[in-house]
Amino acid sequence: GSLATMAQAGRPRSDAALMAQLSAKLAKRNSGRHHQTAVGTGGSSRGGSARSSAVEVVPSNSDPQFGVLVKTLNYLQTVDFSRTVGLFLQQAPTPAVKKLCERLKTRDIEQHEEPCPYTMAGTLVAALHALDEPLMTRKMFSSFTTSLSIQSQVQHFVVRLLLSKLPSRNGWLVENLCLLAYRMSRPLSEGGAGMEPSTLAIVLGPAVFQSQKSTGSTSGHSADTVAKTIKIMEALIADYDYFFSKKHHPGAMGQQQLQQQQALAPERRKLAVEDKEGAQARRKERERQKKERDAAKQREREARERQLEEDRLQQLERDRQLESKRKA
């Protein structure tokens, strides 16, 4: 049965007893997942509740939408949040988002490229909505929303258990998306963007729990449903350290891969600065050349005016002389 329903039905047992029971289940599920990953795609788990075959922890790029999500997440983890105010809040142009989404389905981001972070964030959200099955899955949605009715600290245990039941690639993406949002919620002094988890949850919650293809229309969600997804997502962001074990921080992305991505960030910014400086230098050179052309045209115009004035004066002098001769 549903873990959330089980916990709810378990009341009025003590929170300590319920948490002990749920902790045991969480440990069992995590053990089954680790064993399953270790034995490979053809292995089977000894745990009765575990899946019969392993799913790659890092989503495969053979799935276009998941590939787009992986690439956008990996890139956004390297962004300087202090320079990207309102990431996920400022809406990127739809044509740019569609173009980038299609492009990332077939190729990676080159080291010398510096995509717009806002377009990247918009592409991530668009890819979430484009999934046939939302990250939290339709099957799990009711369990997550039911967990909101558990008014105790057991609620967090239930949500953590539900997260452990997600398919591995879904869990990887949810964890790293929450990591990104958590880092953005940190103060500016800690390298974050100082954004409120509730603000980020308004954008990410509906996209993570309900995709457009699974519901038929993003406008078809009830206000109550949207409110529930936002509340759960806010908790996942605010209490990231609790819901996602620090042992595997920052998720299956791998510390080495993240360090490599972060190492590229300064170089990308340097190239961007050089490109900007080069563009400024070219603009200044064009402005200088234009000023020189304008000055040359002005000198030519003044020379013509002086010549015309001299010709006019000479003609007046000739007319005066002719008049004097006639009078003589």
CATH number at residue 138: 1.10.555.10
How far are the Cα atoms of 53, 69, 96, 213, 215 from residue 129, in angstroms, in the given order? 27, 11, 16, 7, 10
Do 209 and 277 reside in the same domain of the chain?
Answer: no
Residue 250 lies in a domain: no
DSSP string, 298-311: HHHHHHHHHHHHHH
- Confirm whether 304 is domain-assigned: yes
Residue 303 has pLDDT above 90, yes or no: yes
Given this model, what pLDDT does residue 202 score? 93
**Contact indicator for 36, 49 with CB cutoff of 8 Å:** no
Q: Which of 103-107, 227-231, 263-267 has the highest mean pLDDT?
A: 227-231
What digits encode the pLDDT tens for the residues 183-195? 999 888 888 888 8
Asked if residue 277 and residue 202 are part of one domain, the reply reads no
Local confidence band at 122 (pLDDT 50, 70, 90 cut-offs): very high
> Band of the pLDDT at 241, cuts 50, 70, 90?
confident
Q: Do residues 224 and 326 both lie within one domain?
A: no
Side-chain-side CA neighbours of 244 within 13 Å: the count stands at 22
Let me know whether 239 and 268 are in one domain: no
What DSSP character marks residue 79? Answer: S
Residue 84 is assigned to a structural domain of this protein = yes
The predicted pLDDT at position 253 comes to 43
Q: Does residue 249 lie within any of the structural domains?
A: no
Identify which has the larger pLDDT, 282 or 33.
282
Residue 64 inside a domain? The answer is: yes
296 and 224 in a single domain? The answer is no
Within 10 Å of residue 211's Cβ, how many Cβ atoms? Answer: 22
* Calpha distance 253→268 (Å, rounded): 20
Specify the higher pLDDT residue, 127 or 280.
127
pLDDT tops 60 at residue 140: yes
Does residue 172 form part of some domain?
yes
Look at residue 247 and tell me whether its pLDDT is greater than 70.
no
Query: Are 184 and 268 in a shared domain?
Result: no
Q: Are residue 60 and residue 143 in the same domain, yes or no?
A: yes
pLDDT exceeds cutoff 60 at 23: no
- Is pTM beyond 0.75? Reply is no
The whole-angstrom separation of Cα 34 and Cα 127 is 28
Q: Which of 176, 173, 234, 159 is nearest to 203 (CA)?
A: 234
By residue range, what is the domain housing residue 134? Answer: 3-244
Token pair of 27 as six digits: 């440990």
Q: Buried b / exposed e across 80-104, counting CB within 10 Å, b at 16+? A: ebeebeebbeeebeeeebeebbeeb
Percent of the chain with pLDDT over 90: 18
Same domain? 50 vs 100: yes
Domain shared by 323 and 216, yes or no: no
Among the ranges 93-107, 146-160, 312-326, which has the highest mean pLDDT value?
312-326
Please report how many Cα atoms fall inside a 13 Å half-sphere around the Cα of residue 185, on the Cβ side: 21
Whether the per-residue pLDDT at 254 is higher than 50: the answer is no
